[in-house]
Homo-oligomer: A and B are copies of this chain.
Amino acid sequence: MQLNPNVIKEDFPLFKKHTSLAFLDNASTTQKPQCVIDKVNEYYNEYNSNVHRGIYQIGEKATYEYESVRGKLLQLVSANDNYSAIYTSGTTESLNLLAHSLSKLVLKVGDEILITEMEHHSNIVPWQIACEKYGCTLKYIPITEKGEWDISQIDSLITQKTKIVSMIHQSNVFGTINPVKKITELAKAVGAKVILDSAQSIPHGNVNIVDLNCDFLVFSGHKMLGPTGVGILIGKTEILNMMPPFMGGGEMIYTVSMESSTWNEVPWKFEAGTPNIAQVIGLGAAIDYLNNIGMDNIHAYEKKILAIAEKKLSQVPGLKIFGNPQKKGTVISFELDGIHPHDLAQILDEHNVAVRAGHHCAQPIMNKLNVPATIRASFYIYNSEKDINQLVNGLNSALKFFSIQ
């Protein structure tokens, strides 16, 4: 079924308030549909209470709603019984959890961790810290001019010393959909654990964790129509069982004595303290909403809108798109000759076009491109051709403004 962005837009209250806003910063965070906002409110209005410990009706209801989102998440990524879903505060916390607990389980001095030059800072910095702590080496799969991985030297990068491979599924700068299966196969062959940063891929299409054969998958609720403050770690239960906990506190314990403590089962072992209850429950509604539209339909529509955007942008004089990967999602990074990205963003804002200017938390890519920043337009299901036209008009007017045209 063809997706109609204008019908979808009706579900998003922000666009009722800002009727002429072309919101093109979806890779940063998405807008929220009414049903997600309603679900969060339902929790606060009808069964607001703590989970797991209240022997009273609203407490049981809150626990039921909170726990039942795990099943939705596992289903979303087609996970089988070997996987568990852990709630975190975001992709960043999920990756830090792994960099702490998985590292402790598998790393020893001299080992190697492999990431790529395309990573988001959240998938770089935690591994730099882990490498320093354990005396390990951080290696990078390089990227090409096209914004793709250069895997020509992969055999020297994945070795017997490689214990963890953590890679970005879809680039938040180029939009590249990366050939992760190849890497996973090679990583598994040397016994490395494989993590997929799917913060940018989950919202846009089917991600099948079993097919991709990775051990861990991380993503954020706020980039997939869900509330802020909730993220996900889906992982192989067997490995999670062996990993030491990340944070200590309430909920994650089995027993506590003054001398020592023992841990609760997975997933709760990794969920210390009162969790982000309202946010998890709201995320459940976001998943329902996405499933209702259908991930296949989303993917098909995004292909269409990307093609239109690329075509129209290429007609803007002096505009250069960074990267040209074969498989690409709805993210376009570009520059407009002679205008600094931040000045451009400011002018686009005046035209009611919200784009991002900056390094997109991917400074290694910026260094490679030899620019401090780019302009990024990223699209989602409520964006239509009208938004693209508005962007192009804004760009043309910026050219005039700076007297370049």
Instruction: Select from chain B the residue with minimum beta-carbon distance to A364.
Output: B258
B96 touches A354 (CB 8 A): no
Asked if A230 lies at the interface with its beta carbon under 8 angstroms from chain B, I say yes
A122 touches B58 (CB 8 A): no
Asked if A46 lies at the interface with its beta carbon under 8 angstroms from chain B, I say yes
CA A273 – CA B97 in complex, angstroms?
13
| Nearest Cβ on chain B to A13's Cβ, whole angstroms | 4
Asked if A173 lies at the interface with its beta carbon under 8 angstroms from chain B, I say no
Report A's interface with B, CB cutoff 8 A.
13-14, 16-18, 21, 23, 25, 28-29, 31-32, 36-37, 40-41, 44-50, 53-59, 89-93, 95-96, 99, 117, 120-122, 124-126, 128-129, 138, 140, 220, 222, 227-231, 247-253, 255-258, 260-261, 272-279, 342, 345-346, 348-349, 353-358, 361, 363-364, 367
A229 touches B89 (CB 8 A): yes
A250 touches B120 (CB 8 A): yes
Among B125, B229, B355, B364, point to the contact of A278 (Cβ < 8 A): B229
A124 touches B261 (CB 8 A): yes
CA A354 – CA B95 in complex, angstroms?
37
Instruction: Select from chain B the residue with minimum beta-carbon distance to A57.
Output: B349
List of B residues within 8 angstroms of A31 by Cβ: 48
Instruction: Select from chain B the residue with minimum beta-carbon distance to A66.
Output: B228
B361 touches A250 (CB 8 A): yes
List of B residues within 8 angstroms of A140 by Cβ: 258
CA A96 – CA B88 in complex, angstroms?
14
| Nearest Cβ on chain B to A8's Cβ, whole angstroms | 16
List of B residues within 8 angstroms of A275 by Cβ: 228-229
A121 touches B56 (CB 8 A): no
B257 touches A363 (CB 8 A): yes
- Can you tell how many copies of this chain the complex includes? 2
B229 touches A126 (CB 8 A): no
A53 touches B253 (CB 8 A): no
Give 17 pairs: A residue, B residue, CB < 8 Å, sorted on A. A14-B46, A14-B47, A28-B274, A29-B48, A29-B274, A31-B48, A36-B44, A56-B348, A56-B354, A117-B258, A121-B249, A125-B248, A125-B261, A128-B248, A228-B278, A229-B279, A257-B367
| Nearest Cβ on chain B to A376's Cβ, whole angstroms | 11
List of B residues within 8 angstroms of A354 by Cβ: 49, 54, 56-59
B29 touches A356 (CB 8 A): no
CA A16 – CA B45 in complex, angstroms?
8
Q: A96-B248, A120-B249, A125-B252 are in contact. List 16 more A-B contacts (CB 8 A).
A: A14-B45, A14-B46, A16-B45, A17-B46, A18-B58, A55-B345, A89-B276, A93-B273, A121-B248, A121-B249, A121-B261, A124-B256, A125-B248, A126-B247, A220-B273, A251-B361
CA A227 – CA B230 in complex, angstroms?
13
Among B17, B277, B346, B363, point to the contact of A256 (Cβ < 8 A): B363
